[in-house]
Amino acid sequence: MSDLGKFTPDADSELFGKNVACTNKILAKILLDWTSTELGDGKKRQKYLTAIYFDKLTELFCRIWDQLQAEEKIRYKSAYSSYRGIHGPGRAISINRQEDDKLSLGTNPKDYRRHKLAYITEIIEKIYPPVSKARIPFKLIGDAWNSRCRIEPQIAHSQWRSWLEGSEDNSMDSVFLTARELSFVMNISQAIRILTKEEIRALGTHPDASNTIAGIQFNLNKWQYMSDKLTQGHQVNDAENVSERLKYIAQEIKRKCVTNRSSYESGIRKLKEELKKIGDADLQNAINKVQAQTTSEIWDNDSIVRYAKYADIIHNVSIYLEACIRILYLNKQLSSRELEALAKITKNLDKEYSRLGCSFPDPADIQKTSMESVSDMCRRVKREIWERIPHIPEEGKSGVP
């Protein structure tokens, strides 16, 4: 594992490398099964998952697998730990970047990688088998830090079986998967295979209410920081990117508070039905412990209900702010569709916040206003929202819950 050794100089390469290889092989198998599933009516799944969906697939699998290990049903944990990110919990490893890598961080404004962490897509990008690429479990198309990068399985079904057969000796320590571990993998794959990518994303993002709350708060803290940058009179060099990011984070808040609920509902229902068919009691118990069994456990939680009330407004404020920056700072024109959507948003914001003395100019009139005036209104709206939503202290910088 020479690449892995360079990438993780502090790791115990012997055990760690082997664990990474095993985890990646299993993930490749699960992704292969998911992409190969025929949907009926002659429809086929796409042959890849994009980064966020793959990240949540990894998170979902690793969460279940680690719980099985905690219950001593299997020998080893997954190789990756769960860290909080914009999109909720995701799997990563803690690293020390080489100098060149450190320098490359931040050269692209949309590259949000961190110095001390490598998320699953970067791990896949950088780790190859020691001898050529013939047995890479995945193919990554696009930049690893881009949410649109695609991850395709590169293994063949027969290759999975040859991994199962081939171990240097047949001792318990060296065998890739014992019979029981294999059955867990196949059962997890069977259960995940029936889910849509949105359902996988929802299940991966929301293990339970407290994690969801922590995730929303994490996003809110990020949103606050970025909106402050834009609205407190600081000339932001990269205003366009920051405002796009702000809007994106607001979308994520809304997704966690509201949008994911329906996908979670259909996903957990399908998962429960499939687990019943599979009949693996140990697996079922493990999943019950790490995954909320109903949507109301999460979305009827008081804090989340309160967050949900303001998720739309936060999103709308972000859209409005981003539009103003494009028009006022960058002299850009909005499309007719954008103008139409913005008009509706303006109306809602006006209706909601005119009592605060806020009057959000119509899209057609934005050019007549100033950024200071818009910023002032956004700050007032934000202050009020912040008074009404629950606040949880920010987690440690690593984002470990």
Contact residues for another protein, defined by CB under 8 A: 38, 129, 131-139, 152-159, 161-162, 165-166
Q: Measured from the CB of residue 51, what is the shortest distance to another protein in angstroms?
A: 18
107 or 132: whose CB is closer to another protein? 132
187 or 295: whose CB is closer to another protein? 187
Closest by CA position to 217, among listed 399, 392, 400, 401: 392
CA 81, 275, 28, 19 dihedral sign is positive
Please return the burial class of 255, using the count of CB atoms within 10 Å of its CB with bins 0-12, 13-18 and 19+: buried
Task: Using DSSP bridges, classify how beta strands 81-85 and 49-50 pair: parallel, antiparallel or unpaired.
Answer: unpaired
Chain centroid, CA 273 distance in Å? 25
Please return the burial class of 383, using the count of CB atoms within 10 Å of its CB with bins 0-12, 13-18 and 19+: exposed
CA 6, 132, 147, 85 dihedral sign is negative
Please return the burial class of 336, using the count of CB atoms within 10 Å of its CB with bins 0-12, 13-18 and 19+: exposed
159 or 375: whose CB is closer to another protein? 159
- Eight-state DSSP code of residue 395: P
List the Cα angle 7/8/14 in 5-degree steps.
Answer: 115
Q: 3-state class of 41 per DSSP?
A: coil
Q: Measured from the CB of residue 38, what is the shortest distance to another protein in angstroms?
A: 6
Task: Using DSSP bridges, classify how beta strands 138-141 and 150-153 pair: parallel, antiparallel or unpaired.
Answer: antiparallel
Q: Measured from the CB of residue 32, what is the shortest distance to another protein in angstroms?
A: 8
Distance CA 216, CA 23 (A): 29
167 or 293: whose CB is closer to another protein? 167
Q: Measured from the CB of residue 117, what is the shortest distance to another protein in angstroms?
A: 26
103 or 156: whose CB is closer to another protein? 156
136 or 175: whose CB is closer to another protein? 136
Q: Measured from the CB of residue 210, what is the shortest distance to another protein in angstroms?
A: 39
134 or 179: whose CB is closer to another protein? 134
Q: Measured from the CB of residue 138, what is the shortest distance to another protein in angstroms?
A: 8
Q: Measured from the CB of residue 330, what is the shortest distance to another protein in angstroms?
A: 39
